[in-house]
Amino acid sequence: MRIKDASALVAGGASGLGAATVRALHEAGAGVLIADLNADKGEALAAELGERASFVAANVMEPEPVQAAVEAAAKAHGGLRISVCCAGIGWAQRTAGKQGPHDLEIFHNVLKVNLIGTFNVLRLAAAAMVNNDPDSGGERGVCVNTASIAAFDGQIGQVAYAASKGGIVGLTLPAARDLAGRGVRVVTIAPGTFDTPLLAALPEEARTELGAQIPFPNRLGEPEEFAALARHVVENPMLNGETIRLDGALRMPPR
């Protein structure tokens, strides 16, 4: 998929992995719509990038705001052809412990944001993409999801998070098969431990320890590295129905 002059939607694009992806796609010539709950950061990023960048407030769990974002992106810069979903939350709690069983409402909320929210963006973006004119290779669009290596190596206390990210991995291939006849690709990236705002709150010693667990490179991943892979996924038409681990050969221990 050619990025230049295409329209891209990045859900969860105001910070972290999403913001880095917004920058990468914008630099490559796309018009980028940033969809996020954090209006301050989203509007600031759009203002910084200037032309071909805009922001809309949207909760990925809610159909109407996401549909509005999709429609706005579809009307700009040659139609919506790129969708990237980076929105998500985490929670640490054991299945059963001293405080009793895992909170069911919290488990439900993590799945609702991470899994259902991702699917909400995917289904609505894909529905808009299938109406695009195909490019010379027959492609109409590409949807990139964000899972986590927790989908494969979930740690103690990550039952809700791992389940939600495992669901994203599980839907990738059937979604790609669903959309193959319409020229829309679906690919998921499963990052390891990355230097995002969530980890920035940790003491430097803890951040260094996390990075030391990664075989090579022996450090935390950088959001720009995630963004570089997202860009490559968009540009490489043979990447479809796949989940790509981006983790420096890290396999998470039980705790």
Q: State both tokens at 78.
A: 């040659």
DSSP letter for 71, please.
H
Beta bridge partners of residue 194, listed in sequence order: 221
The dihedral through the CA atoms of 30, 53, 79, 24 has a sign that is positive
Q: Which entry of 161, 171, 229, 250 is annotated as an active-site residue?
A: 161
- Rounded CA-CA distance 23/50 in Å is 11
Give the residue among 240, 136, 142 at the shortest CA–CA distance from 184. 142
250 counts as catalytic: no
First to last CA, the chain: 40
* All residues at 6 or more sequence positions from 102 whose CB lies less than 8 Å from its CB, including other chains: 93, 94, 95, 96, 159, 160
- Rounded CA-CA distance 119/250 in Å is 27
SS3 of residue 51 by DSSP: coil
Residue 247 CB coordination number (10 Å): 20
The residues annotated with a catalytic role in the active site are: 161
